[in-house]
Structure 1
Amino acid sequence: MTTSLTASASRYVNRKVRSVKAATDQGWQPRAWQLYHAVPEVRFATTYMANGMAGATLYAGRRADDGTIEPAPDNHRASEIVQQIAGGPDGQVKMLGAFGKHLTVAGEGWIVIRPNSDVLSPDVPEDGHDWRVLSTREVSQKSGKLTAEIDGDDVEVPPGDEETLDPDSPVALRVWEPDPEHAIEADSPVRASIDLLEELLLLNAAVKAIARSRLTGRGILLVPKGVRFPTRPGQGDAEDDLIEVLMMIAETAIREPESAAATVPIVLEVPADSIADFKLLTFESTFDELALKLREEAIKRFATGLEMPAELLLGMGDTNHWGAWMLTSEAIRMGIEPKLQTVSHALTSQ
């Protein structure tokens, strides 16, 4: 295992009680989770990583001198231990998938393990353990004690004693991608893009405002005073007032924004000697088109900052099946495998 991973996992023990506060108080992480919920591109990239990691299989093995891994037999004690992680294969799928999201958004996550004799979970054997993967928002330090929010309840996790660790006591394990500048802190692709994603939210709001303005106001239509619509069949000699008819259409546009009536402008009747013909005044801004371009640029910049090929987020376009296979392979090698190594190292060492 490479040395860059040695600081990526830490079990909550007595000597590390004070260091936990620094690890659970990173101000950028709550905002990163908010952006995950607010920006679809963040959610897509995060879910892609999670689904990729969920497809992996944990197994026990020994690393040979040439770097290859030799799997242990199924009846080996190490294999039996691995099979019990997270309650078995189904639980391991959920655990790895959850870490795909935690490591991409906040750069860290927690594993809290409790004996089922205390938890009494129906999904876990009576003599087994309940495994929970928690986010940074669900783990905090209060009065020098580590508190985890599980199923809406605050659960205190006592620190373990390194000299006399009880195999049946609750365990809290922090797993994170270490920041290269300050290894105790976490790092993630979303962290580096927070300002960019804030910009993207502003551009989304601008585009939304532009769309609404196009529905409620298509400009002002100047109409010579006295202009009338021709009478409708069966109407007799009566005439429709132009403004009355167009305002009726405008009211329809407000009630039904998806109707064709939403495209009509506001009508203003002026003296006939002021204008010779109908005249449309619009309030379009050069920023309208610019906002769309800036939003597209922001999405591209975010895509290039991810730990996977940008084409997976932006779309593969005319990429053939060989190109698609290469992009997927690159995403696994550069984005998914390193995160799997982080989690595997944590489970192995802690």
Structure 2
Amino acid sequence: MTTPGRALTAASSRYVARKIRGKGAGTDQSWQVRAWQMYRTVPEVRFAAGWIGNAMSGALLYAGRRADDGTIERAPDNHRASEILAQIAGGPGQAKMLGTFGRHLTVAGEGWIVVRPNADVLSPDSPEDGHDWRVLSVREVRPQSGKLIAEIDGEEVAIPEGDAENLDPDAPVAIRVWEADPERAIEADSPVRSSLDLLEELQLLNAAVKAIARSRLTGRGILLVPKGTRFPTPGTQGDAEDDLIEILMTVAETAIKDPESAAATVPIVLEVPADTISDFKLLTFESDFDELALKLREEAVRRFATGLEIPAEILLGMGDVNYWGQWALTEEAIRLGIEPKLGTVAFALTQQWLRPLLEAEGVEDWHRWPVWFDSSPLRVRGNRSETALQAYDRGGQQMSTTSGGTTVWRCSIAEA
């Protein structure tokens, strides 16, 4: 028996004529295009979305019955709600579906589910008498001339308008799933949306750091040598002198093509009149911005991490956090970042798939059966013996006894 942790701000809708027209009026999707660009070009965005997606894929969906007190009890395996739930995404495909939605909801805050009878599609991942399930991004679904066009496997598939009053369980279905924006619920929201300007700043800083690295490869500066006013030239050139710009360009090209060459590690030698300098002098091309760019980039990454719905340490690293702290942070990430998104997907499957089918089949209490999730597999601790050893290292005593072939660890923390 489980109790939902908090009210959901999720939203979902089937594609019917009146709803698609409503969505198309005044909604802004331009930021979602920018968000997906950041996913492709900023590794921190990809890592955060991938972490959330991978975590969501480890959860389990199940059909339940909502009691009067709000608790949800798991439905019997032979109940029609459980049978419908087992067929979602072909059963084993539910993990992949949840993982994909983890990325969509983190980046764009929105995704689509397109369900088609497999008799028409003949997908090998689903039974022939079942359905083919696809999760698509907002860039793969668009309204066009009163219809909904979905791009699936490189082909455009037209989704017919559904009848809101008489839904056909065997007709193709398009379900929009999104995290509702608190200001305008018809629009989607995501943690990446509020960080778009910051991420563009991070891209500029990445470019600056890249330019700094390249500048390091163009040479190690100019070494001034007090003698003559010419460049040393190969013996084959006689008394000829090389042009300064040509020398610099040649060294830069060589260093970039072959970072391990001498041109990338030693300075250019320039001979100048002895009366102009008293000793050898090295001129470098470094600036104060070099170190500042690295600090600004680190700060931008940290700000992006704090703007996510999971603890910043997940992105920044937990190298300085002990075992117990890591466990607590992971627990917090599951509770604040993973479970709400699982609830969003469960809400959509409840409202737009399970309950409409139960109602169409004449199940009397169809409105009491939701799709829910079990996140306990995400909380399984890996190595319990390691837990005991770390407790012992903190000042405890360990004793091991074997009972029935099982080693039992006991720790008593010593007094401070």
How high is the TM-score relative to the length of structure 1?
Answer: 0.90
CA shift, 1:23, in A, is: 8.2
Which residue of structure 1 aligns with residue 258 of structure 2? 256
Percentage identity across paired residues of the two chains: 76
- Other-structure match for 2:274: 272
Contact 1:24 1:140 in 2 (8 A): no
Once the two structures are superposed, residues 28-80 of structure 1 have per-residue CA deviations (whole angstroms, 9 ceiling, x without a partner) of 00110010011111011001100111001111111234433210111111100
What is aligned with 2:79? 76
- Separation of aligned partners in 2, 1:3 and 1:332: 14
Which 5+ residue runs of structure 2 have no aligned equivalent? 230-241, 353-416
Question: Distance in 2 between the 1:65 and 1:263 partners?
Answer: 75
Change (3 A) 1:321 1:3: closer
1:152 maps to 154
Aligned mates of 2:25, 2:132 — CA distance in 1: 27
CA contact (8 A) 1:193 1:305 kept: yes
Aligned to 1:275, what secondary structure does the other structure show?
coil
Q: 1:240 matched to which residue of 2? A: none
SS of corresponding position for 2:60: coil
Distance in 2 between residues matched to 1:309 and 1:135, nearest whole Å: 26
Shift of 1:3: 9.4
- The corresponding residue for 2:169 is 167
Cα distance in 2, alignment partners of residues 144 and 22 from structure 1: 13
For 2:267 and 2:44, how far apart are their aligned partners in 1?
35
1:218 Cα deviation from its structure 2 partner: 2.1
Aligned residue in 1 for 2:315: 313
Give, in whole Å, the separation in 1 of the partners of 2:279 and 2:252. Answer: 21
In 2, the alpha carbon distance for the partners of 1:106 and 1:251 equals 42
Report the CA distance between 1:15 and its aligned residue: 2.1
Structural mapping, 1:146-225, within 5 Å: 146-225=148-227
Aligned partners of 2:28 and 2:187 also within 8 Å: no
1:138 aligns with 2:124: no
1:182 and 1:311, CA in 2 relative to 1: closer, same or farther beyond 3 A? Answer: same
Q: What residue in structure 1 maps to residue 51 of structure 2?
A: 48
Question: After alignment, is 186-195 or 274-283 more displaced?
Answer: 274-283
CA contact (8 A) 1:107 1:176 kept: yes
One-letter amino acid of the counterpart of residue 203, structure 2: L
Superposed CA offset, 1:199-242 (max 9, x none): 00000000000010011032221112259xxxxxxxxxxxxxxx
Distance 1:199 1:93, change over 3 A: same
User: Where does structure 1 lack aligned partners over 5 or more consecutive residues?
Assistant: 228-242
Contact kept? 1:23, 1:185, Cα under 8 Å: no
In structure 1, what residue type is equivalent to 2:343? Q
Aligned with residue 298 of structure 2, among 292, 296, 301? 296
Change over 3 Å in CA distance of 1:272–1:27 after alignment to 2: same
Aligned counterparts of 1:6 and 1:48: Cα–Cα separation in 2:
22
Task: Tell me: CA distance 1:93–1:24, structure 2 relative to 1, closer, same or farther (3 Å).
Answer: farther
Q: How does 1:224-235 map to 2 (within 5 A)?
A: 224-225=226-227
Are the structure 2 counterparts of residues 249 and 341 from structure 1 closer, same or farther at C-alpha, using a change threshold of 3 Å? closer
Matches within 5 A, 1:303-342: 303-342=305-344
Cα distance change, pair 265–199 in 1 and its aligned pair in 2 (3 A): same
TM-score, structure 2 length as denominator?
0.76
The residue type paired with residue 28 of structure 1 is W
Alignment RMSD, CA only? 2.8
Q: CA deviation at 1:281?
A: 1.3
- Which aligned runs of 4 or more in structure 1 are off by greater than 3 angstroms? 1-7, 22-25, 246-255, 258-261
Amino acid in structure 1 at the alignment position of 2:172: P
| Distance in 2 (alpha carbons) for counterparts of 1:85 and 1:134 | 16
Output the CA distance in 2 between the equivalents of 1:331 and 1:162: 37
SS at match of 1:113: strand
1:36 is aligned, of 30, 34, 39, to 39
Give SS of 1:168's match: coil
What is aligned with 1:21?
A: 24
Change (3 A) 1:128 1:253: same
Separation (CA, whole Å) in 2 of partners of 1:47 and 1:140 = 25
**Cα offset for 1:261?**
4.5
Distance 1:295 1:119, change over 3 A: same
128, 131, 139: which one aligns with 1:129:
131
Give the drift of 1:95: 0.5
Q: Distance in 1 between matches of 2:112 and 2:252?
A: 56
Residues 174-183 or 56-65, more deviating? 56-65
Distance 1:23 1:127, change over 3 A: farther
- SS of the residue corresponding to residue 259 of structure 2 reads coil
Contact 1:22 1:185 (8 Å CA) reproduced: no
SS, match of residue 181 in structure 1: coil
Deviates more, 1:157-166 or 1:265-274: 265-274
What is the number of equivalent residue pairs in this alignment? Answer: 340
2 CA distance for matches of 1:253 and 1:217?
7
Q: 1:175–1:23: structure 2 CA closer, same or farther, 3 Å change rule?
A: farther
AA aligned to 1:158 is: P
